[in-house]
Amino acid sequence: MKKHWFTMVLAIMMALGLSGVKALAQPATPPPQGEERRMSPERREELKKKVELIWQQKLTERLNLTEEEKAKVFPLLQQYHERQRALRQENRQLVRELEGMIKANASEKELKRTIRDLEENEHKLQEMKEEGFHELAKILPIEKQARYIVFQAEFRREMHRLIQKARHREGGPERS
């Protein structure tokens, strides 16, 4: 059963031409100046939605969620995931800014400010994770909370494994 759902995620990625994974994988040789290998926002969104549907289905099965629990859990998790996504996007932008600042020999004060912003975002992400779990604990009994923690860890590991496998197939560098 577990193998089947991981196979489904892989099949979706393959059906989309691994475009979701290609965006994460770095090519073996850099693309020509000014060109990048990136999937379109539409394809990224399509992949994200499909993986999210599979995630919801598997989470429902693994936690044996009731209809009432699903009606409360999924909107809650969606809210927290969107907020976390926004902070991670902001972090990526801050890292890009740091790269530019380093190239431009920015002042120590400017670098410190950007690093402090990154640290604050990381702190917010951690707080958000804890807050979300406390909210989830109000909905789910302790056994389902434990199952959720295990499910999330397994999901992340499997996604990481699939990405590494796709990178290897695409000729990208192996990263851990």
Q: pLDDT, tens digit, for every residue of 17-51? A: 333 333 343 444 444 544 455 678 888 888 888 88
**Of the given ranges (9-13, 14-18, 56-60, 79-83), which has the lowest mean pLDDT?**
14-18
Structure confidence at residue 11 (pLDDT): 42
Contact 169, 25 (CB under 8 A): no
**Of the given ranges (70-74, 124-128, 153-157, 163-167), which has the lowest mean pLDDT?**
163-167
- Higher model confidence: residue 160 or residue 118? 118
**Of the given ranges (9-13, 47-51, 87-91, 151-155), which has the lowest mean pLDDT?**
9-13
Structure confidence at residue 127 (pLDDT): 95
Domain boundaries, the chain: 2-29+37-170
